[in-house]
Amino acid sequence: MKNSFDEKILDEAQDWIKANQKVVLATVIQTWGSSPRQVGSRMIVNEKGDFSGSVSGGCVESAVVSECLSLIKDKKPCKKIEFKVSNESAWEVGLACGGEIAVYIEQIH
Amino acid sequence: MKLKTLEEILKKKSSKTEFAILTNLENGNSEIYMPGTSPEGEFSKYTNEIEKFFKSKKNGVIENSEIFVETYIKPIKVIIVGAVHIAQYLVDFAKSLNFEISIIDPRGYFASEQRFPDIKVINKWPKEAFEEIETNSNTALIALTHDPKIDDPALQFALKNKFYYIGALGSKKTHENRCQRLSEAGFTNDEINSIHGPIGIKLGGKSAPEIALSIIAQLVSETYKK
């Protein structure tokens, strides 16, 4: 369904900021093939690595968290990350579903 | 994104105003765009493309650019007739979907605010209540009272105004009688057959939340057929 006015992820981002946490916003900006979450899906990550929301069906969230942590550490404003189909290595991050997604991460400052 | 932009987005969301968030993926600049206006600075040359995203109700990156557009469009209006137990669960389910619910019930003891906090409940007969709600072919009707004197006028209004989804609660027998009455009132078979009755997809459940789930599932499915 189209973006809901009731979706709470951005409200949660504001709550985290009010609690003096550093927040990175991750947004799905492009998808190819059978990706699990549609363009505009969101997730937030704080400096401790806590996260809420989703950008995939659980396939790439851990990689997005570590990218967000590096963004905070390196004091960078934003970054675009692409995830492709996972290969046979179980430890490699990728989309088991066979789709590809691009995720944009940005600090809220 | 600037904290100020985030705060503005939240304000727009709570007032359910249509808007878009424009983001330059290269430098991280973002801005709020209101449909029908002209964006400033680096986004100014993309007005046509941004409007296209609004029209197609989509989000995405503008071709041959590094501009991401995320649109927030008006939720679909769902009118429930009957402030009954099932309606309370429908309200819960609709919260996480892009549906905006109004409830009509002339029976004051059902239509109390305490039973439906945060929801527009109109304590009037359907005919008068519809004067207070703006409706069009993007509106859905869920009739839950299975009382002809309350449901029928609402169903007739929804048929005349070509709501994209019309559902009515009641057994097969109740629905047959309802169809008979609508036919006598001059509605065509096509119109009458467009009513989902008995309402909901077959899940097998009988409890109020299960019936609400089957109704909301049908509503989502019909919304995607639009």
What domains are defined for chain B?
A: 3-72 (no CATH), 76-225 (3.40.50.720)
Q: Which of B4, B25, B225 to mutate to test the interface with A (most CBs of A within 10 A)?
A: B25
- Closest-CA residue of A relative to B1 is A108
Residue A69 has pLDDT above 80, yes or no: yes
Length of chain A equals 109
pLDDT for B28: 93
Which positions in chain B touch A30 (Cβ < 8 Å)?
60-61
Chain A nearest CA to B126, separation (Å):
27
Residue A3 has pLDDT above 70, yes or no: no
Residue A5 has pLDDT above 80, yes or no: no
Chain-wide mean pLDDT for chain A?
86
Whether residue A57 is contained in a domain is answered as yes
Taking each continuous run of H as one helix and of E as one strand, the counts in chain B are 8, 9
Residue A88 has pLDDT above 50, yes or no: no
Q: Which of A20, A21, A29 to mutate to test the interface with B (most CBs of B within 10 A)?
A: A29
Whether residue A4 is contained in a domain is answered as no
Q: How many domains does chain A have?
A: 1
Whether residue A3 is contained in a domain is answered as no
8 Å CB contact of A29 and B60? yes
Whether residue A2 is contained in a domain is answered as no
Query: What is the span of the domain harbouring residue A99?
Result: 9-108
The residues on B that touch A, with CB distances below 8 Å, are: 1-3, 6-7, 9-10, 13-14, 16, 23, 25, 27-28, 30, 57-61, 68, 70-73, 75, 95-98, 220, 223
* Helix B172-184, helix B148-160: angle, nearest 10: 60
Whether residue A80 is contained in a domain is answered as yes
- Are the CB atoms for B77 and B133 separated by under 8 Å? yes
Residues of chain B with pLDDT under 50: none
Which positions in chain A touch B14 (Cβ < 8 Å)?
5
